[in-house]
Amino acid sequence: MKLFVGLGNLGAEHAQNRHNVGFMAVDAIAEAHGFPAWRQRFEGTISEGKLGGEKVLLLKPGTYMNASGRAVGEAVRFYKLDLADVIVFHDELDLAPGKVRVKRGGGVAGHNGLRSLSAHIGNEYFRVRIGIGHPGRDAVTHHVLSNFSKADRAWVAPLLEAIAKEAPYLAEGAPDKFQSRIANAVQVEVEQASEAKATSARGDAATPSPKEGPFSALRRWFRA
């Protein structure tokens, strides 16, 4: 079994914060792959399902970010998981917005959620680092605890869709393939958006409305 952890802060006021992109990622995975309703367990909320042929437990810690390790530690001990089976989705200041990198172990780079996890379970878990860009040292707190901007929303929803679509590769132990397929998918989305914008500016034709699909709610949320 794999444990997919999304990092974030509780409360409606934090729901669209950059710091909550880990929560957003596991929500997108649950929606895309038909996971059941979230339920309370391990000082957080969980949903269990399958990605490919692999059983996966999704977990959103119910503590604030700097105590995330408590919930993750409970789940790891209960299921007797190896840290190679723990995959954590989190925001990353040191990556450009929309970039995704996967690595195992390493430092926590000042991220309080990762610091808490490493204190409770050790350091050799996998991290899915979701770039949100760095605003400069004096503006970090405001940046991570602010909502994604309107400009950001053009890439956030497509990126979350790609993460959800390609998540089975993570569950099956192919993080490099997961990472490369996301990069390709987001690049295609950006190119299509640019072409649609150019077409609209030229007045060639009306831009068609997107079809309803598993991510319609996600896209509407980010257009709000």
Q: With beta carbons less than 8 A apart as the criterion, state whether 159 and 98 touch.
A: yes
Enter the tokens of residue 102: 């996967």
SS3 213: coil
The 3-state DSSP composition of the chain as helix, strand, coil percent (nearest 5) reads: 50, 20, 30
Q: With beta carbons less than 8 A apart as the criterion, state whether 36 and 53 touch.
A: no
Q: What phi and psi, each to the nearest 5 degrees, are found at residue 40?
A: -80, 130
**Closest C-alpha to 221, from 151, 157, 132, 145:** 157
Task: Say if residue 67 is exposed, middle or buried (CB neighbours under 10 Å; 0-12, 13-18, 19+).
Answer: middle
Q: What phi and psi, each to the nearest 5 degrees, are found at residue 69?
A: -65, -25
CA atoms within 13 Å, Cβ hemisphere of 95: 15
Q: With beta carbons less than 8 A apart as the criterion, state whether 5 and 89 touch.
A: yes
Q: With beta carbons less than 8 A apart as the criterion, state whether 57 and 48 touch.
A: yes
Catalytic residue among 14, 19, 33, 143: 19
- Strands of 34-114 (E only): list them: 39-41, 44-51, 54-61, 86-92, 100-104
Question: Is 19 designated active site?
Answer: yes
Looking at the annotation, which residues are catalytic?
Answer: 19
